[in-house]
Structure 1
Amino acid sequence: MPKEVTDLAEFKELINGDKVIAVDFTAVWCGPCKRIGPKFEEFSKEYPNATFIKVDVDAAEEIAAAYKIQAMPTFKFFKGGEMIGEMVGADESKLKALCESHCK
């Protein structure tokens, strides 16, 4: 199950590590987020080499602002502090493709 992160310092510590971090920027009121959220959780089990986390943009406004989140859901993939992939929207096949290319 993806961990919920609300603290900017913890978020930065996670994404600066050697492991791929897949981030779901979400909101409780967001319909598309509710549809794709369970898939993100499934992928977290399918790709154990990556760490999957969720950031609720309302509970973690500082993180959302720092990473310029404009729409939900937004998925970002990081490794060693660098963003290596990004997707906006709830397209399951595109999210799966990002996981395939970055999380194996």
Structure 2
Amino acid sequence: MGREAGKDEKQNGLSNLKTPSTDQDLSDTLLQIRSSKIPAVINYGASWCRVCNQIMPSFQQFSKEFTKLSFAYADIDDCPETTQHIRYTPTFHFYRDGQRVDEMFGAGEERLHDRLWLHS
């Protein structure tokens, strides 16, 4: 999904989810998060990760439900330089006032929902 498509979807209320597909895109997304006052969550996953694929539909749904949060999904294989610190997939990073304030490893729909509620 390109940047323009993401903007259009957000304006239509369909989604609040960015999917940076290169290291540069992810770096830009991280810069936007760090310079923004909007709380954000980044889901670091991989296409080959079974657990990542299981939680992704819920993550997409939550991006529509939690409209005060900014959402991003980054595939570690598409962004190898920017995600080299990620050791477990899925890993969720939560940001507030531009700073990472929380981290969650693994999936679990209810666990993720509760964490998103906490940070929204």
Q: Distance in 2 between matches of 1:18 and 1:58?
A: 29
What CA distance in whole angstroms lies between the structure 2 residues aligned with 1:99 and 1:3? Answer: 16
Matched, 1:10 2:28: yes
**Aligned-partner Cα distance in 1 for 2:77–2:104:** 19
| CA RMSD across the alignment | 1.2
Aligned length, in residue pairs: 101
Q: What is the CA distance between 1:53 and its match in structure 2? A: 0.6
Matched letter for residue 40 of structure 2:
I
The structure with the largest alpha-carbon Rg is 2
Percentage identity across paired residues of the two chains: 32
**Contact (CA 8 Å) 2:27, 2:82: kept in 1 or not?**
no
Distance (whole Å) between structure 2 residues aligned to residue 102 and residue 48 of structure 1: 12
Matches within 5 A, 1:1-104: 1=15, 2-5=17-20, 6=22, 7=24, 8-16=26-34, 17-65=36-84, 68-103=85-120
Question: Which runs of 5 or more residues in structure 1 are unaligned?
Answer: none
Identify the structure with bigger relative contact order (alpha carbons < 8 Å, sequence gap 6+): 1
Runs (4+) off by over 6 Å:
none
Task: For structure 2, list consecutive stretches of 5 or more residues without a partner in the other structure.
Answer: 1-14
TM-score, normalised with respect to structure 2: 0.78
1:14, distance to aligned residue in structure 2 (A): 2.2
TM-score (norm 1): 0.89
Q: Do the aligned residues in 2 keep the contact of 1:21 with 1:50 (CA within 8 Å)?
A: yes
Which is strand-richer, 1 or 2?
A: 1
